[in-house]
Structure 1
Amino acid sequence: MRKKLICVILAALTAASACTGCGISKAERSQNVVYVYNAGEYIDPDLLDQFTEETGIDVVYDEFESNEIMYPKIESGAAVYDVVCPSDYMIEKMIKKDLLQPLDYSKIPNVKNIGDYYIEQSRSFDPEHKYTIPYCWGTVGILYNKTMVSEKVDSWDILWNEKYKNEILMQDSVRDAFMVSLMDLGYSCNSVDHDEIEAATERLKAQKHLVQAYVVDQVRDKMIGNEAAIGVIYSGEALYTQSQNPNLEYVIPKEGTNLWLDCWVMPKNAKNVENGLKFLNFLCDAKVAAKNFEYITYSTPNENARQYVEDEELKNSTTAFPDLTQFHNLETYHYLGDTADKYLNGMWREVKSY
């Protein structure tokens, strides 16, 4: 889930189903509705219409740019949502801060479609599997243009190659940038060791003069347009870029990478609990999940959905559905704690201002 903030009014929905773009206040809430908070461009909007048509429940849909923007709105309670879709490490933080309520899985029977592997992966941040429904998963890797890069690409090291000065795109994200540097040095992406983080910081500083830009979604557009040779990208975005530019190749570096999982959760102050559970059950329907995957191109953990994917290239994509057993050192991000987060953010500011 690495998407830009786009505040849209979904005209096909009822008048009550408008994206506010500034959070849903308690005064604005109504009963026959579900308030959804998700990353931008991270759902097929037609599915929101379909849910309303099938249930009579209006969907008020709001979007966020990053986990770090989402979190304070949930923590403060000023914006009240029924279901939210954060990433692994942020869910771990929300659980520890007592911001979530357990899900009644008996009212989400379609959860049976979620593969056991992804349920087990979610236990790394939701140990008792009480709070989460896996939604999308993927890896972070290197996207490169085969007409601009001649040598074999299998290591994060290429991001420090002087040959590609001003042709490298890095993610403008503290966790992702440090993941690349830490794992390239042989460390865990969840390291809180100051010596290791300082070494990673110095490595990022040494790389900075080679970087064309620190970006988020722009890596997709720039790589499609042949504006850069190499970019750090999320697998779901890589899948889309490859459909638009056949010269692009995606690889998972040999040193390892982040294996991420985004899940739906229910904030503790959610008011429309039953409607929220119905929405989650709807999204876990195999045909719904297949339609959503074809739209957003982020890998679905819904194992029964793949049989309904009509696009054969997507269904059989090794970018979307890699054999993870062939890779080693795939790590899920963990919440590092407030002190470590503050320290890491300070080091990132140091890199950006270098």
Structure 2
Amino acid sequence: MQRRSFLVTASSFALSQLLVGCGGRNQETLKVSLLNGSIPGQVVGKFRKSLQGGVNLNFSAVAQLKSSYKNLQTWHSRINGKKDEGWLSSLPFGPWRPLPVADLVTLGDYWLAAAIEQQLIQPLDVSEIKEWSNLDRKWQELVKRNDKGLADSKGKIWAAPYRWGSTVIVYNRDKFKDFDWKPQDWKDLWRPELRSRVSLLNQSREAIGLTLKKIGKSYNTQKLSEVPQLESELRALNKQVKLYSSDRYIEPLIIGDTWIGVGWSSDVLPLIARYPQLTVVIPSSGTALWADLWVHPTNKNTNKTNLFYKWIDFCLQKDIAKQISLLTKTNSPINLKISADDISQPLNKILTDNSSTLEKSEFLLPLPKEAAQEYDSLFAKIKS
């Protein structure tokens, strides 16, 4: 259930199979590699109907965002004349047939800087995207980077966001019946009642970041050694943690082994209807944000179609953006008018009231190598 590692479902498999090859061989083709579960099948169907003339659509789903990033690396290697390496190249039942290069790929903002620096993707021409102006400046700035992948107000546009979410607190409401308080912010994770009852994401940027937020600092603080109380706060938090996991933090909450956890909204929100004892809150002091983006792979041999711009533009239309948001239970980078009647009550506050979340929260921006190593080193030290 990890947000960065979605499981492939039967419905998504069926979607990819139905849409591959819709059209003749001589027709213009659009190849899109998307994150499984991030685009509803109805949306792809509407896009196909909106196109004039015959177009061959090839939409395929990948199970993990990390797989998308690895595909970009593989395609780039082939373009530069490097042979495929690894066990797949020596399979006994014949040569491995690599995935064709896609025109558009889902990539998480976490991988954007590396993809730019390694020249795995190429900039977008936003003049081809009619709906681009509907994006708030915050989203335009997120994908405006220099050639090293770092934020730059004068940089190029390297991606188009189509949905976003946040790191949230999720707790088992049954375990808090006898308390006169309910979890609202990061500081609640340190309460003595929760000793050995917390599940925490097994990622240094998330664990250290929420601790920095608790003491009034930024998620993107670079010199951790200059925050004197940080290590003691982390040690105190470590005593509260029963489980560090980025993909199995929901199960312990459901069975009551842990009472409260930290997770990604796209993991948690789809489960609320099935497990009504779970409650989700966005920490009042702010949290970490993530975004799923469309990127255009670098490919010297690609067909020269610009159909992918039509797809990006389609996803940013308000009625389509609303459908993506509601059906995938994520937020939209487009300012939408979503009423309480559109969403079940437990999800209402998470998906409709976004302004305060955005104002107080931060994206996990790329850090200099030394700073990233300091995060990992401190996290390992605390857990040991």
Matched, 1:32 2:29: yes
Q: Which residue of 1 aligns with 2:282?
A: 252
Of the three residues 38, 45, 54, the one matched with 2:41 is: 45
In the TM superposition, 1:1-354 aligns within 5 A as 2-7=3-8, 10-14=13-17, 17=20, 32-38=29-35, 40-52=36-48, 54-55=50-51, 56-67=55-66, 70-76=68-74, 77-78=76-77, 80-120=101-141, 122-123=143-144, 125=151, 127=153, 128=155, 130-149=157-176, 150=179, 151-196=181-226, 200=230, 203-224=233-254, 226-269=256-299, 271-272=302-303, 273-304=305-336, 306=338, 311-313=342-344, 317-325=348-356, 329-352=360-383, 354=384
Q: Report the secondary structure of 2:319's partner residue.
A: helix
Q: Report the secondary structure of 2:290's partner residue.
A: strand
Summarize the Cα distance change of 1:316–1:183 in structure 2 as closer, same or farther, 3 Å threshold.
closer
CA contact (8 A) 1:52 1:59 kept: no
TM-score scaled to structure 1, two decimals? 0.77
Summarize the Cα distance change of 1:220–1:303 in structure 2 as closer, same or farther, 3 Å threshold.
farther
CA contact (8 A) 1:174 1:348 kept: yes
**How far 1:298 sits from its partner (Å)?**
0.6
How far apart, in 1, do the equivalents of 2:371 and 2:267 lie? Answer: 29
Aligned-pair identity in percent equals 22
Q: Deviations over 1:273-309 (max 9, x none)?
A: 52322322232233332222222101112235747x9
Summarize the Cα distance change of 1:111–1:312 in structure 2 as closer, same or farther, 3 Å threshold.
same
How far apart, in 1, do the equivalents of 2:207 and 2:367 lie? Answer: 16
TM-score scaled to structure 2, two decimals? 0.72
Summarize the Cα distance change of 1:316–1:239 in structure 2 as closer, same or farther, 3 Å threshold.
closer
Summarize the Cα distance change of 1:233–1:13 in structure 2 as closer, same or farther, 3 Å threshold.
closer
Q: Deviations over 1:147-178 (max 9, x none)?
A: 31222423323323342234211112232122
Which amino acid is the alignment partner of residue 36 of structure 1? S
CA contact (8 A) 2:266 2:329 kept: yes
CA contact (8 A) 2:136 2:333 kept: yes
CA contact (8 A) 1:108 1:277 kept: yes
CA contact (8 A) 1:122 1:261 kept: no
How far apart, in 2, do the equivalents of 1:314 and 1:279 lie? Answer: 32
How far apart, in 1, do the equivalents of 2:212 and 2:192 lie? Answer: 20
Larger Rg: 2
Summarize the Cα distance change of 1:64–1:339 in structure 2 as closer, same or farther, 3 Å threshold.
farther
Unaligned runs of at least 5 residues, structure 1: 19-29
Summarize the Cα distance change of 1:211–1:325 in structure 2 as closer, same or farther, 3 Å threshold.
closer
Q: Which residue of 2 aligns with 1:21?
A: none
Bigger shift: 244-253 or 116-125?
116-125
How far apart, in 1, do the equivalents of 2:29 and 2:354 lie? Answer: 43
Which amino acid is the alignment partner of residue 29 of structure 2? N
Summarize the Cα distance change of 1:94–1:197 in structure 2 as closer, same or farther, 3 Å threshold.
farther
How far apart, in 2, do the equivalents of 1:84 and 1:201 lie? Answer: 39
Q: Report the secondary structure of 1:266's partner residue.
A: strand
Number of corresponding residues: 339
| Backbone CA RMSD of aligned residues | 3.7
Summarize the Cα distance change of 1:274–1:351 in structure 2 as closer, same or farther, 3 Å threshold.
farther
Q: Report the secondary structure of 1:265's partner residue.
A: strand
How far apart, in 2, do the equivalents of 1:63 and 1:138 lie? Answer: 19
CA contact (8 A) 1:224 1:244 kept: no
How far apart, in 2, do the equivalents of 1:60 and 1:10 lie? Answer: 10
CA contact (8 A) 1:51 1:57 kept: no
**How far 1:259 sits from its partner (Å)?**
3.2
Q: Which residue of 1 aligns with 2:89?
A: none
Summarize the Cα distance change of 1:254–1:73 in structure 2 as closer, same or farther, 3 Å threshold.
same
How far apart, in 2, do the equivalents of 1:326 and 1:173 lie? Answer: 22
Q: Deviations over 1:234-279 (max 9, x none)?
A: 3344433443344433333344322333322222237355232232
How far apart, in 1, do the equivalents of 2:278 and 2:17 lie? Answer: 41
How far apart, in 1, do the equivalents of 2:16 and 2:68 lie? Answer: 24
**How far 1:135 sits from its partner (Å)?**
1.3
